[in-house]
Amino acid sequence: MEFGTKVAIIVLDDLAVWQKLNVTAFLATGIASAAPDAMGEPYIDAAGKTHARLLGQPIHHDPPS
């Protein structure tokens, strides 16, 4: 599947793990709210429970080398 857009979130390496996760979640939420067409369908888990829509594009983690 080809996507016309890409998103990059760059986080400082000197933050604690919980801070990195918090910053990334905060920024991703802001990006997703600004681009509702990038959101996928509501997620339904194996138990049949419906969850909020998730970002419909793949997420790639590229740790520093």
* pLDDT 10s digits, 1-43: 677 777 788 888 899 999 998 988 888 888 877 877 778 888 8
Q: List CB contacts of 29: < 8 A, sequence separation 6 or more.
A: none
Domain ranges of the chain: 17-55
Q: What per-residue confidence (pLDDT) applies to 12?
A: 85
The strand pairing partners of 50, in sequence order, are 44
Q: What is the average per-residue pLDDT within 36-63?
A: 81
Q: What is the pTM of this model?
A: 0.57
Q: What per-residue confidence (pLDDT) applies to 7?
A: 77
